[in-house]
């Protein structure tokens, strides 16, 4: 059995695809976003590869190249323009984790960067203008992971760029820079039967796109996660989080600003192994965002069951070491770029399967119900609500030529249907579309 394939099975369905119109302000637990996995931007955990640069440090390097076709570059439902597309992702990672993925008992560090470049191969000048350079970088430092008291700090930066949702020359690409810094302290006395983690997260979210700068924000989140192991590998958990999100800019055409919010969650549940093959992370509880809204009878605040009940269910079932099935559900409230906030209900299913020792197959699907609130209509300066049905589905098959090389194919379907009626010819709120992506890829991760 190939160890790398076994690792691949557990990771193959985790993905980020397309542009999201919402900002996550309060995480209620791990949330899997599915679709095309994309080119790897770091070496898989527990990989036996890496260049020994010192007695305790390993340097991992890699590069991936893919070529394919995008059926709907501008997410249009009336004028879908397709194009051939290529992407290149070189990366490097420096860590003192062992070749088998072992974490040092004292000081642990992990830092790296990936440099994604995208090019459209089209005769359409507007499509060619959507080429992009999208770097990411991260650094993590941890002390005392296996001790009674431990500390960790980290920082992650990511730049993303996506074509606008209309093929109009005057509209800019959706360019977004996100920096997230984290500091945490962990206390686990008596062998870890009781444990508590206090963490602080600061997120700066900045759009370079002119008409989206009103959503530039800074979010601060303080979270306390406590757990009690009532079984050796299963714990009862209580999570309390309080956030503070503020926005930097006003809309130059209306003078409007997005409301400051104070997102709050109290969640209780179960986390760990139910059987040797089934792991569960289940929480449910109360949420509110406490928006600082100006007096307006048409501008609502979260309320009732929709606005105050939050839940998260994540199940991982591994019937064999080569098969992984991940299913889940999430109900939450999130700040929105379009409007003030939206109610979210999401379900997902991911399947990973190793075949014949060197093949890895991934299948995934996700559905989201998004109910946006307080969308301002510039023409009348009134507020409306809107409901979107968002789908992602993906499949990919990779062949590992060696433990450190891969070749594969992938397919992704993205779809959104909304009850929103377009207000103007260049209304960026228009997001009904079907988009398909097909890729062939080749890469090295050492």
Alpha helix stretches (DSSP H) within 277-419: 304-308
Distance CA 350, CA 340 (A): 31
Secondary structure letter of residue 35 according to DSSP: S
pLDDT tens profile 333-360: 999 988 899 999 999 999 999 998 789 9
Would you say residue 6 has pLDDT above 90?
Answer: no
Residue 26, pLDDT > 70, answer: no
Whichever domain contains 187, its CATH number is 2.40.160
- DSSP code of residue 196: E
Give the structural domain span for 376.
Answer: 3-445
Rounded CA-CA distance 325/338 in Å is: 34
Greater pLDDT, 215 or 169: 215
pLDDT digits (tens, 9 = 90+) for 369-403: 999 999 887 767 788 889 999 999 999 999 988 87
Percent of the chain clearing pLDDT 70 (strictly above): 87
**Residue 288 vs residues 128, 170, 218, 308: alpha-carbon distances, Å:** 43, 38, 18, 6
With 0.85 as the threshold, say if the pTM is over it: yes
Look at the chain and report how many structural domains it folds into: 1
Per-residue confidence band for 7, with pLDDT thresholds at 50, 70 and 90: very low
- Residue 173 scores a pLDDT above 50: yes
Under DSSP, the state recorded for 358 is T
How confident is the model over 276-310, as pLDDT tens digits?
999 999 999 999 999 998 877 788 899 999 899 99
Q: Residue 4 CB: number of other CB atoms within 10 A?
A: 24
The Cα–Cα gap between 60 and 50 comes to 5
What is the three-class DSSP state of 254? coil
Contact 419, 56 (CB under 8 A): no
Burial of 208 (0-12, 13-18, 19+ CB in 10 A): middle
Using the predicted structure, report yes or no on whether residue 427 has a pLDDT greater than 60. Answer: no
Classify strands 149-162 and 309-320 as parallel, antiparallel or unpaired: unpaired
Cβ contact 258:340 at 8 Å: yes
Across the chain, what does the average pLDDT equal? Answer: 86
Q: Mean pLDDT over residues 60-74, rounded?
A: 95
Report how far apart, in Å, the C-alpha atoms of 56 and of each of 49, 99, 106, 135, 145 are.
Answer: 14, 10, 12, 27, 17
């Amino acid at each position: 059995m190939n160890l790398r394939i076994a690792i691949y099975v557990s990771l193959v369905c985790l993905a980020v695809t397309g542009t999201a119109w919402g900002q996550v302000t309060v995480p209620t637990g791990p949330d899997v976003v599915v679709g095309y996995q994309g080119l790897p931007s770091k070496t898989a955990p527990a990989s036996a590869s890496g260049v020994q640069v010192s007695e305790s440090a390993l340097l991992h390097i890699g590069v991936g190249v893919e070529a394919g076709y995008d059926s709907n570059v501008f997410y249009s439902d009336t004028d879908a323009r397709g194009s051939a597309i290529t992407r290149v992702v070189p990366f490097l990672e420096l860590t003192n984790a062992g070749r088998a993925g072992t974490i040092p008992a004292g000081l642990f560090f992990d830092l790296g960067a990936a440099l994604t470049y995208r090019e459209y191969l089209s005769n359409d000048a507007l499509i060619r203008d959507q080429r992009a350079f999208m770097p990411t970088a991260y650094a993590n430092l941890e002390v005392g992971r296996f001790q009674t008291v431990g500390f960790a700090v980290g920082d992650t930066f990511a730049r993303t760029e996506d074509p606008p949702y209309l093929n109009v020359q005057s509209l800019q690409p959706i360019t977004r820079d996100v920096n997230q810094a984290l500091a945490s302290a962990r206390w686990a006395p008596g062998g870890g039967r009781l444990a508590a983690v206090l963490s602080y997260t600061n997120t700066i979210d900045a759009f370079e796109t002119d008409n989206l700068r009103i959503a530039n924000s800074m979010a601060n989140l303080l979270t306390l996660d406590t757990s009690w192991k009532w079984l050796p590998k299963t714990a009862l958990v209580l999570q309390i989080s309080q956030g503070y999100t503020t926005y930097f800019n006003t809309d130059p055409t209306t003078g409007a600003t997005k409301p400051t919010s104070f997102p709050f969650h109290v969640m209780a549940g179960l986390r760990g192994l139910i059987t040797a093959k089934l792991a569960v992370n289940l929480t449910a509880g109360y949420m509110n965002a406490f928006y600082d809204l100006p007096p307006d009878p048409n501008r609502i605040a979260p309320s009732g069951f929709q606005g105050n009940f939050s839940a998260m269910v994540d199940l991982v079932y591994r019937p064999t070491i080569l098969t992984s099935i991940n299913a889940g559900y999430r109900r939450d409230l999130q700040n929105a770029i379009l409007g003030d906030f939206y109610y979210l209900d999401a379900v997902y299913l991911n399947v990973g399967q190793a075949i014949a020792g060197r093949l890895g197959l991934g299948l995934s699907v996700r559905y989201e119900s998004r109910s946006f609130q307080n969308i301002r209509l510039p023409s009348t300066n009134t507020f409306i609500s809107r409901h979107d049905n968002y789908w992602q589905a993906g499949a990919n098959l990779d062949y590992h030529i060696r433990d450190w090389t891969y070749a594969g194919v992938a397919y992704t379907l993205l779809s959104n249907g909304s009850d929103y009626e377009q207000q103007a010819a260049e209304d960026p709120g228009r997001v009904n579309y079907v988009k398909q992506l097909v890729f062939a890829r080749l890469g090295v991760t050492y």
